[in-house]
A and B are shown apart, each in its own frame.
Chain A
Amino acid sequence: MAYSEKLIDHYENPRNIGSLDKDAGDVGTGLVGAPACGDVMKLQIKVGADGLIEDAKFKTFGCGSAIASSSLVTEWVKGKTIEEA
């Protein structure tokens, strides 16, 4: 399997796995994909009063690259505004 080291790192040690309270007022939840395609991702972001993304958590059903890219996304969005992200 010819995956890059960085991808493998994200697969072995995924960042920000988990869940935020989906009923909380400051949490946004997105669920995209379909099990029939082999890819489902749930991304949750917690937005602070200042409009910046405070925290992000994900869960993914999918292959190595799906997991790694989801993990990377959660790292990138933190600290950005919703528009930037």
Chain B
Amino acid sequence: MNVLTQIRRNDQPIYLDYQATTPMDPRVLEAMMPYFTHKFGNPHSRSHAYGWEAEEAVEKARSQIAKLIGADDKEVIFTSGATESNNLAIRGVAEFYRDRKNHIVTTVTEHKCVLDTCRHLEQQGFEVTYLPVQKNGLVDLDALRAAITDKTVVVSIMAVNNEIGVIQPLAEIGKICREKKTFFHTDAAQAVGKIPVDVEAMNIDLLSISGHKIYGPKGIGALYVRRKPRVRLVPLIVGGGQERGFRSGTLPTPLCVGLGEAAEIAMKEMVAEAKRLAKLQERMLKGLRDRLPEIYVNGDMEQRIPGNLNISFAYVEGESLMMGIKSLSVSSGSACTSASLEPSYVLRALGVDEELAHTSLRIGLGRFTTEQEVDTAVDELVRHVTKLREMSPLWEMAQAGVDLKSIEWAAH
């Protein structure tokens, strides 16, 4: 694929942070361009050709998205991104049904926008249960069943976690929610286009999609809202009543087209791409394990999207490692890169020791990652981890057989 040279200059670092964002597929950009240039009409303009052609493009995109998740066109609403979709889904149902139901169930590993929406609702009198997860990052289905009451309006559990890449048991969760007559919302930003998602088979009532996670443009997303049986929502943004009243505002035609095209490409290439990424993931992990002792993958290895590796490199601090691997772009679960001294809340929820949480890196592979990049990355990582271990008093102590857990540290 020589799209590589079109996407990146040679002097840029190797991009290994595909969970943070993805480059736009050139095919997506190509589909979008006319709607930035001569096909600029407002899709809601009913009375002329400019409007009609824009509307046609938006409706085609809607259909492409619906097909990806097994939904009906009428059930797809465009939003500005998954954050908005998550806000709309959870606040929307909570506020609509608040007279009868006031309880929400979610997990501790959700994306900040879900957790913050829930916290916001708590301040408005709702009750929220934040379910813990098991060591492998997966939710315990029995605990979920026990947490749902007849006051629960919605259960919100993300399909794939952005930090550790684990896949929740969506069909089983959906089944439990149906049994207990509560809505099931899933933030599927990291899942759609990567693993099969079928809203019918999985009994999903609300689903969030993000454009820039699937090689589409930034600034666009979608929310699937079930019509049979109907899910009612109080909208966040009101005005002209666009998107069936759920989300007012002129639709950004080129962005909608981009999301649609990205969805269709993902649907067509999902199986082949997953296979390719699984091999690259395996190659990277094996490359590291062969040359570095004491490295640990965080989160379930089986229930995981191909392409995500969240690895703890014991005895080496994450930020110092990131500083060393200048030719690679990854992200870290270490404190120094977040504003507080606390390591990642997701890793903590898995029960990862604080020390180990400080040593972790999140590596994301994607559509444009090559074998050569994986090999170069492995070399860089091995080189720097080895160098930093030589500088580490913890490594020195561990090699000498000291049990680090038995030490009383003189913290400052």
* Chain B 303-322 residues near chain A, CB threshold 8 A: 315-320, 322
Task: Enumerate chain B residues within 8 angstroms of A61, measured Cβ to Cβ.
Answer: 315-317, 392-395
Task: Enumerate chain A residues within 8 angstroms of B335, measured Cβ to Cβ.
Answer: 38
Cβ-defined contact, B355 with A67, below 8 A: no
Chain B residue at smallest Cβ distance from A34: B409
Cβ-defined contact, B323 with A40, below 8 A: no
Q: Given A3, A37, A41, which contacts B393 in the complex, CB threshold below 8 Å?
A: A41
Known A59-B391, A61-B392, A61-B393; judge A34-B320 contact (CB<8 A).
no
Task: Enumerate chain A residues within 8 angstroms of B390, measured Cβ to Cβ.
Answer: 17
The total of interchain contacts (Cβ-Cβ below 8 angstroms) comes to 82
Task: Enumerate chain B residues within 8 angstroms of A37, measured Cβ to Cβ.
Answer: 341, 411-412
A84 to chain B, nearest CB (A): 22
Determine the distance from Cα of A64 to Cα of B321 in the docked complex, in whole angstroms: 8
Known A11-B323, A36-B354, A66-B320; judge A60-B393 contact (CB<8 A).
yes
Task: Enumerate chain B residues within 8 angstroms of A32, measured Cβ to Cβ.
Answer: 410, 412
Task: Enumerate chain B residues within 8 angstroms of A67, measured Cβ to Cβ.
Answer: 320, 391
0/1 string, B378-412, CB within 8 A of A gives 1:
00000000000011111110000000100001111
* Chain B 119-145 residues near chain A, CB threshold 8 A: none
Cβ-defined contact, A59 with B396, below 8 A: yes
Q: Given A8, A33, A62, which contacts B411 in the complex, CB threshold below 8 Å?
A: A33
Bin chain A's interface residue count.
Answer: 20 to 34
Q: Of B318, B343, B393, B410, which is in contact with the most chain A CB atoms at under 10 Å from its CB?
A: B393
Q: Given A14, A35, A64, which contacts B319 in the complex, CB threshold below 8 Å?
A: A64
Cβ-defined contact, B320 with A1, below 8 A: no
Cβ-defined contact, A42 with B393, below 8 A: yes
Is B336 interfacial (CB 8 A cutoff)?
Answer: yes
Cβ-defined contact, B410 with A31, below 8 A: yes
Cβ-defined contact, A35 with B355, below 8 A: yes
Chain A facing B: main interface SS: mixed
Is A85 interfacial (CB 8 A cutoff)?
Answer: no
Task: Enumerate chain A residues within 8 angstroms of B358, measured Cβ to Cβ.
Answer: 35-36, 38
A82 to chain B, nearest CB (A): 19
Known A14-B391, A36-B355; judge A62-B412 contact (CB<8 A).
no
Known A14-B391, A38-B358, A60-B391; judge A33-B409 contact (CB<8 A).
yes
Determine the distance from Cα of A24 to Cα of B293 in the docked complex, in whole angstroms: 31
Q: Given B319, B322, B343, B393, which contacts A40 in the complex, CB threshold below 8 Å?
A: B393
Is B334 interfacial (CB 8 A cutoff)?
Answer: yes
Cβ-defined contact, B343 with A38, below 8 A: yes
Chain A residue at smallest Cβ distance from B358: A38
Chain B residues with CB under 8 Å of chain A are: 315-320, 322-324, 334-336, 341, 343, 354-355, 358, 390-396, 404, 409-412
Further contacts, 10 of them, CB under 8 A, given A33-B410, A61-B315: A19-B396, A33-B412, A35-B404, A35-B409, A37-B341, A37-B412, A38-B317, A61-B395, A63-B319, A64-B319
